[in-house]
Every structure is written in structure tokens, then in C-alpha cells.
């Protein structure tokens, strides 16, 4: 199967290098830098992905009393006093990318002057929650993720694909592998 060549000429321009980064940017960075690069150039197969649509249904029906917190560049599922950031995932497998996304939200809130205590990721399909600590180490990780994400977005060419086995379930599969 031929590899899809991917360079900037195939896509729109990258996002403004100083534009605020949302949670999706950080999640994609940690899942696959190529996904972040494509996303930053406007490629959005996730809008028609059944997996993503399923995730939105889970998200909409699991916690009916929650309120989204819209920061502009990022939409947080909800925040409880403390402040604790809550994020719901339809995945059955907790991922470092999910924790990185929550740390990014903690960073964004802190920059707005909010005292942040940490985060909790909810996985309703496996009835599990994972706590995400917020301390100096977590803050440094979040800041480092931002730097990494901006580096990926600014690259003239797309990063290489992950190995095929690591692409399972990715909404960009069609594009990267021509399936
Ligand atoms: S299909 Fe694989 S290489 Fe392409 S964006 Fe998804 S994880 Fe990355």
C-alpha cells in the first residue's frame, strides 16, 4: 500500500503560531504528532467519524447536570470547586494523551488566575476515573507540551505516520493509509 505523501502544499496554511492551543491540539500531539499537524491545517475527518460521534453521545448522556466551561480556545467538560477539571472520555483505555489534555486545561485556567487543584478523567464505559495531579511537575509538562505542539504545527512537512498497529481507531486512518 502506498504511503500518502503529505506536505504543506496539500493543505491549507498552518495555524497562526501564536494562536491559543486547545485541548484537541494537545491530545493529538500526544496521540500522534502527524494528527496534530493535519488538524492544524484544517483537516477534520473526526467530524464524520462514527467513533467520534459515539464519543459525543456518551459525553452528552453521561453527566446531565454538568456545564461546559468555554475558554474560547478550549471547552472544558466541567469544573468543580477547588478547582478540579473534569473530562469525560468514551474510550475504554485511559491514555497519557487524555491526561495531557487535562493538564493543558489546568494551565489555561491557572493563567486566568484560577487556583487549580487537579483534574479527573471519567471513563463511563469502564466505570473508572483517573486523577490528574496538578503541581510544579505537571505545570512544567503542560508548558512543554505547548512548546512541542507549536514546533509540530510550524513544521513544513507532516511528521511520519505511526506504525500501523498504533493507528487503530484513529479518525485519520483513511487519509494516512488510504483504507
Ligand atoms: S492514522 Fe496513524 S499516522 Fe495517521 S494521524 Fe492517525 S495515528 Fe497518526
Residue 98 has a pLDDT of 95
Which has more confidence, 179 or 98?
Answer: 98
Query: What is the arithmetic mean of pLDDT over 106-110?
Result: 94
Ligand 1 atom with minimal separation from the 33 CA: 8
Residue 64 has a pLDDT of 44
Q: How far apart are CA 69 and CA 174, in angstroms?
A: 32
Ligand 1 touching residue 162 (CB < 6 A)? yes
Residue 138 has a pLDDT of 98
Identify the weakest region by mean pLDDT among 34-48, 107-121, 133-147.
34-48
Query: What is the arithmetic mean of pLDDT over 150-166?
Result: 95
Q: Which of 33, 176, 178 to mutate to test the pocket of ligand 1 (most atoms within 8 A of CB)?
A: 176
Q: What is the pTM of this model?
A: 0.81
Ligand 1 atom with minimal separation from the 171 CA: 6
**Domain 17-177, CATH class in plain words:** alpha beta
What percent of the chain shows pLDDT beyond 70?
78
Mean pLDDT rounded to a whole number for the chain: 84
Please state, in angstroms and as integers, the Cα–Cα distance from residue 16 to each residue in 19, 72, 160, 171, following that order: 5, 15, 22, 24
Q: Ligand 1 mean position to 135 CA, how many Å? A: 31
β-strand 118-123 against 128-133: which pairing, if any?
antiparallel
Residue 47 has a pLDDT of 63
Q: How far apart are CA 166 and CA 155, in angstroms?
A: 22
What does the pLDDT look like over 15-46, one tens digit per residue? 666 778 999 999 999 999 999 999 999 888 86
Ligand 1 atom with minimal separation from the 177 CA: 1
Amino acid at each position: 500500500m502506498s504511503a500518502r505523501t503529505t506536505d504543506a502544499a496539500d493543505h491549507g496554511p498552518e495555524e497562526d503560531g501564536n494562536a491559543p492551543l486547545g485541548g484537541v491540539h494537545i491530545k493529538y500531539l500526544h496521540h500522534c504528532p502527524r494528527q496534530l499537524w493535519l488538524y492544524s491545517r484544517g483537516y477534520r475527518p473526526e467530524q464524520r467519524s462514527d467513533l467520534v460521534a459515539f464519543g459525543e453521545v456518551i459525553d452528552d448522556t453521561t453527566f446531565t447536570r454538568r456545564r461546559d466551561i468555554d475558554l474560547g480556545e478550549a471547552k472544558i467538560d466541567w469544573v468543580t470547586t477547588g478547582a478540579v477539571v473534569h473530562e469525560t472520555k468514551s474510550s475504554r483505555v485511559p491514555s497519557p494523551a487524555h491526561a495531557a489534555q487535562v493538564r493543558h486545561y489546568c494551565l489555561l485556567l491557572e493563567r486566568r488566575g484560577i487556583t487549580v487543584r487537579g483534574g479527573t478523567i471519567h471513563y463511563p464505559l469502564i466505570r473508572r476515573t483517573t486523577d490528574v495531579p496538578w503541581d510544579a511537575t505537571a505545570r512544567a509538562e503542560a508548558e512543554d507540551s505547548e512548546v512541542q505542539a507549536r514546533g509540530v504545527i510550524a513544521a513544513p512537512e507532516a511528521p511520519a505516520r505511526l506504525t500501523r498497529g498504533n493507528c487503530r481507531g484513529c479518525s485519520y486512518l483513511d487519509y494516512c493509509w488510504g483504507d
